[in-house]
């Protein structure tokens, strides 16, 4: 598969951009004219730089306000294009993008535009060059790819083809199926961009809110299915204008783009039988059957503090690793691992982040196939030396600071707990279980600017979907929240993007030095019975304001006795047309980590977003002032 990305899509100077693009695995690059103009060397030097990186210049762009110009502007336009042809020759590229005219002096008419392109094609052909015509969604006379194709068809020149851009087609609501009627050999180039659906000026939307395929709401898959059905076998490129990307790591954004292209074309190949996609076979997106374990990195003192909290929540100290300072806590199908080793990844994570979640294990159908797909999508494999009695478990580095392991029901991986852990002999009388059954969801906190990267990571590797983003109001600012879910709810990950460190999420991220898991939610089938058992174990829940319950009763028309039961146990409540949701929170641990216990009734599949401001306010009240020791 021939892939490219426009230099405008990522941050940095031209040298940094080319290094990032090559490192990510693309075969080509679009040179955006502004990047060339800002470079302090000539076109031949740029061409050498590109080739030295093992890339080719797939496209030079854009040439603006060409077709339909009256005299004397028309003559000056052809003079300008000859200068651009000189630059292209020095760069070593043979294709230039001409976008549809937006000049107020331009004249309409398909035949007039076709005549201009026929002459332009003649000039380009004499110099061994080609032209691609693109319909801008805000073009003055041509703003639809069907009209651009008609111009190209009437120009009827071998050096002139049409360039299709998914944003310009989909943002205007044009049916991508109309692309299927265009001959593949007349499509000169394909540019891709996704975007969130926003009702705003098309030009502003395009210049500030484009993102990678799979990160937005446009049906880029349908667009590419139609393109590939034409027999097109050329370059598939990304052209992204995004304010967040302009300030982000060029290498990270370049990898995101490559990941999005591979994921998109893999999906297109599966949905459009018979098309030819030059893409290595890779396993399909992975169904996750649940979270098998969560591992904490800690020192010995904080491990005991965590253990006391686990015991109060009904977990049993169930095992000790055969060769490492690692303890297993169990309840239902929940496995919590506490690692106090003095070397290895967990110890390194502790030194940087303090006591924190450093590893998540996912239950999948085939662990090795999961690793293969992740690697094809540019995830970094993770390995460290296995100790005595320790299994080799496939793993990758996550997009935050942690590791993700994959376990399945094949071979030894199905018996990892029996193989790697030995029962502990203890004089302690374990606290009784409280009815926790499984991990309902894992909540991860990151900078808001990272959310698209995390979303793409999860949805491209795993068979998951995105829920709509919601704004969570924190007294210190907004936190953007979005969930990644499997269709059956076995995997639920909430992503919470902080915009400043005044929010609880932002403080947690600042104090733990990076993105991380901020809370774990455990499921129960009877939250009131669980609350009673927790109280018997000495568990102290987060104290919720009584004002919340007065409002709750009025808002939902609850029976006062039912409200009293919620208030007495500090349980939060939500419901929708599908069912009900109950939430109970632990106090904060450290700088803002916490546990949640939830019960879902009926078909409720949300996360109680309306309760978040009340929970956050309660958590902020319980935070100790900075500098004070732990109680």
Residues in binding site for a divalent metal cation: 134, 165, 191, 239
CA quadruple 461, 5, 139, 33: dihedral, nearest 10: 160
Q: Which residues contact 454 (CB under 8 A, 6 or more apart)?
A: 399, 400, 444, 446, 495, 515
Q: Is 606 exposed, middle or buried (0-12, 13-18, 19+ CB in 10 A)?
A: middle
User: CA geometry: angle at 211 spanning 210 and 212, to 5°?
Assistant: 140
Tell me how far apart the alpha carbons of residues 441 and 143 are, in angstroms, rounded to a whole number: 45
Q: Which residues contact 562 (CB under 8 A, 6 or more apart)?
A: none
3-class state of residue 361 by DSSP = strand
Question: What do you get for the CA distance between the two ends of the chain, in Å?
Answer: 59
Tell me how far apart the alpha carbons of residues 341 and 295 are, in angstroms, rounded to a whole number: 12
Query: Could you tell me where the beta strands, DSSP code E, fall in 448-548?
Result: 464-466, 470-474, 477-486, 492-498, 516-524
Q: Which residues contact 239 (CB under 8 A, 6 or more apart)?
A: 5, 6, 8, 9, 30, 165, 167, 191, 192, 193, 210
Closest of 402, 384, 446 to residue 291, by C-alpha:
402
Burial 83-103 (b: 16+ CB within 10 A, else e): ebbebbbebebbbbbbbbbbb
> Which residues is 495 bridged to in the sheet?
444, 482
> Which residues is 596 bridged to in the sheet?
521, 585
Which residues sit in the known binding site? 134, 165, 191, 239, 441, 519, 596
610 φ/ψ angles, rounded to the nearest 5 degrees: -65, -20
Write down how long the chain is. 631
Tell me how far apart the alpha carbons of residues 227 and 233 are, in angstroms, rounded to a whole number: 9
Query: Cβ(72)–Cβ(79) under 8 Å?
Result: no
241 φ/ψ angles, rounded to the nearest 5 degrees: -115, 115
Which residues sit in the known binding site for Mg(2+)? 441, 519, 596
Closest of 38, 165, 157 to residue 100, by C-alpha:
165
Query: Does residue 62 have a cis peptide bond before it, meaning omega lies within 30 degrees of 0?
Result: yes
Burial 225-262 (b: 16+ CB within 10 A, else e): bbbbbbebebbbbbbbbbebbbebbbbbbbbbbbbbbb
185 φ/ψ angles, rounded to the nearest 5 degrees: -80, -5
Tell me how far apart the alpha carbons of residues 584 and 527 are, in angstroms, rounded to a whole number: 8
Closest of 217, 285, 295 to residue 457, by C-alpha:
285
Tell me how far apart the alpha carbons of residues 68 and 195 are, in angstroms, rounded to a whole number: 31
Tally of CB atoms within 10 A around 625: 5
Tell me how far apart the alpha carbons of residues 11 and 374 are, in angstroms, rounded to a whole number: 25
């Amino acid at each position: 598969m021939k892939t490219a990305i426009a230099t405008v899509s990522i941050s940095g100077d031209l040298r940094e951009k080319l290094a990032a693009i090559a490192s990510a695995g693309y075969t080509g690059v679009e040179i955006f004219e502004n990047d060339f103009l800002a470079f302090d060397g000539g076109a031949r030097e740029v061409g050498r730089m590109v080739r030295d990186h093992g890339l080719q210049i797939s496209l030079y762009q854009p040439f603006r306000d060409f077709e339909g110009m009256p005299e004397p502007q028309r003559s000056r336009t052809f003079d300008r294009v000859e200068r651009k042809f000189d630059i292209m020759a020095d760069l070593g590229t043979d294709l230039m993008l001409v976008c549809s005219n937006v000049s107020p002096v331009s004249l309409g008419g398909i035949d007039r535009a076709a005549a201009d392109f026929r002459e332009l094609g003649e000039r380009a052909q004499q110099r061994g060059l080609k032209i691609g015509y693109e319909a801008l969604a805000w073009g003055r006379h041509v703003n639809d790819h069907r009209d651009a194709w008609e111009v190209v068809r009437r120009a009827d020149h071998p050096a002139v083809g049409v360039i299709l851009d998914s944003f310009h087609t989909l943002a205007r609501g044009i049916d991508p199926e109309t692309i299927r009627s265009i001959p593949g050999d007349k499509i000169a180039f394909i540019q891709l961009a996704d975007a969130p659906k926003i009702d705003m000026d098309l030009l502003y939307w395009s210049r500030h809110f484009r993102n990678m395929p799979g990160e937005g709401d446009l049906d880029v898959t349908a667009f590419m299915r139609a393109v590939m059905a034409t027999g097109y076998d050329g370059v598939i490129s990304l052209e992204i204008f995004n304010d967040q990307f302009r300030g982000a790591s060029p290498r990270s954004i370049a990898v995101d783009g490559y990941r999005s292209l591979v994921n998109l074309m893999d999906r297109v190949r599966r949905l459009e039988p018979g098309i030819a996609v030059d893409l290595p076979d890779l396993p399909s997106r992975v169904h996750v059957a649940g979270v098998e374990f969560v591992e904490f990195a800690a020192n010995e003192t904080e491990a005991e503090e965590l253990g006391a909290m686990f015991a109060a929540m009904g977990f049993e100290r169930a095992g000790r690793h055969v060769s490492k300072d690692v303890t297993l806590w169990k309840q239902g199908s929940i496995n919590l691992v506490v690692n106090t080793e003095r070397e290895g990844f967990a110890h390194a994570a502790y030194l940087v982040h303090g006591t924190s979640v450093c590893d998540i294990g996912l239950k999948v159908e085939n662990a090795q196939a999961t690793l293969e797909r992740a690697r094809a999508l540019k995830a970094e494999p993770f390995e460290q030396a296995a100790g005595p009695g320790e299994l080799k478990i496939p793993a990758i580095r996550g997009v935050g600071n942690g590791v993700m392991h994959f376990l399945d029901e094949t071979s030894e991986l199905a018996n990892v707990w029996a193989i790697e852990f030995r029962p502990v002999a203890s004089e302690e009388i374990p606290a009784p279980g409280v009815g926790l059954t499984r991990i309902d969801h894992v909540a991860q906190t990151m900078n808001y600017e990272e959310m698209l990267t995390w979303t793409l990571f999860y949805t491209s590797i795993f068979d998951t979907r995105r829920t709509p983003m919601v704004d969570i109001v924190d007294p210190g600012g907004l936190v953007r929240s979005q969930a990644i879910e499997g269709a059956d709810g076995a995997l639920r990950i909430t992503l919470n993007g902080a915009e400043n460190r005044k929010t609880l999420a932002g403080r947690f991220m600042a104090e733990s030095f990076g993105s991380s898991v901020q809370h774990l939610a455990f499921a129960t089938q009877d939250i009131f019975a669980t609350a009673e058992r927790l109280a018997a174990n000495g568990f102290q829940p987060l104290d919720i304001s009584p004002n919340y319950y007065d409002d709750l009763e009025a808002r939902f028309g609850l029976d006062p006795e039912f409200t009293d039961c919620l208030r007495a146990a500090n349980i939060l409540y939500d419901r929708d047309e599908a069912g009900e949701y109950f939430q109970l929170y632990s106090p904060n641990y450290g700088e803002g980590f916490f546990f949640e216990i939830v019960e879902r009734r009926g078909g409720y599949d949300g996360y109680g977003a309306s309760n978040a401001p009340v929970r956050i306010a309660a958590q902020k009240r319980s935070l100790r002032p900075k500098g004070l020791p732990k109680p």
